[in-house]
Amino acid sequence: VKDSNSINIRPVDTLTRSVIDDIMNHRYIPTGVAEWDEDLDGGLVRGNTYSIIGKGGTKKSLFAMSIGLMNCMTKGTPIAYFNMEMSTSQSFIRAFKMLFNIDIKDKVKSGDITDLDIDKMGKDFNDVLKNKFYLIDNNNLTPKDVSGVLDEIKSKYDQKVGLVVLDSMNSMATIGNSEAFTAFEISKEIKQIAKDQDVVVMLINH
């Protein structure tokens, strides 16, 4: 049984104002797909969890990352991208190419990158993303770890995350040696985190 102090009880009058404020302040996370955003009345809703399900190689991570990068650039929305599958360098290379249409690997192989270029690339990357893109490079995490990261970003950097991408749920900590039970429990806990932290959570599933 939960402690009554941990249960979110909302009088209708305060809830009404909160909902109206959300609509007036356009507190949505647009996907960049005009038809979807129109159907969703502006985009993904804070407090909700959305699953992206597909086979390997179907560009799920690419889609989620593009939404995150776009919202950093155009909305200044802080993004927490939990990179649990790809290497750090692979994620960076992918993001840099999406932002600047430059393949870093090709540049390095051709000898076209100097020390000055490296410093400028880092600055450009940070400037374009308005210092609001956080890459978390760990796997085997629990929902409690995810919530802790969001709290740390808020306290350490004074930024409230608007979008969380968990890439992917298959790489989170297993509960009770059962994948099915793990998926059920993690989904349930992540949904509560989305509500408690007032963020959009995108769950990538294979």
**What ranges in 25-175 are assigned the alpha helix state H?**
34-39, 60-75, 88-100, 104-109, 115-128, 143-157
- Give 62's pLDDT tier (boundaries 50, 70, 90): very high
Q: Each residue of 101-150: pLDDT tens digit?
A: 999 999 888 988 888 888 899 899 999 999 999 999 999 999 999 999 99
Average the pLDDT over 56-82 and give the result: 94
- Work out the pLDDT band at 70, boundaries 50, 70, 90: very high
- Which tens digit of pLDDT belongs to each residue from 16-58? 877 777 666 657 899 999 999 999 888 999 999 999 999 888 9
Q: 25-29, 90-94, 183-187, 197-201: lowest mean pLDDT where? A: 25-29
Q: What is the pTM of this model?
A: 0.86
Find where tokens 């940070």 sit. Answer: 126
Q: Which residues contact 167 (CB under 8 A, 6 or more apart)?
A: 60, 61, 64, 65, 81, 82, 83, 84, 85, 86, 204
- CA nearest to 32, candidates 71, 76, 60: 71
Q: What is the pLDDT of residue 68?
A: 96
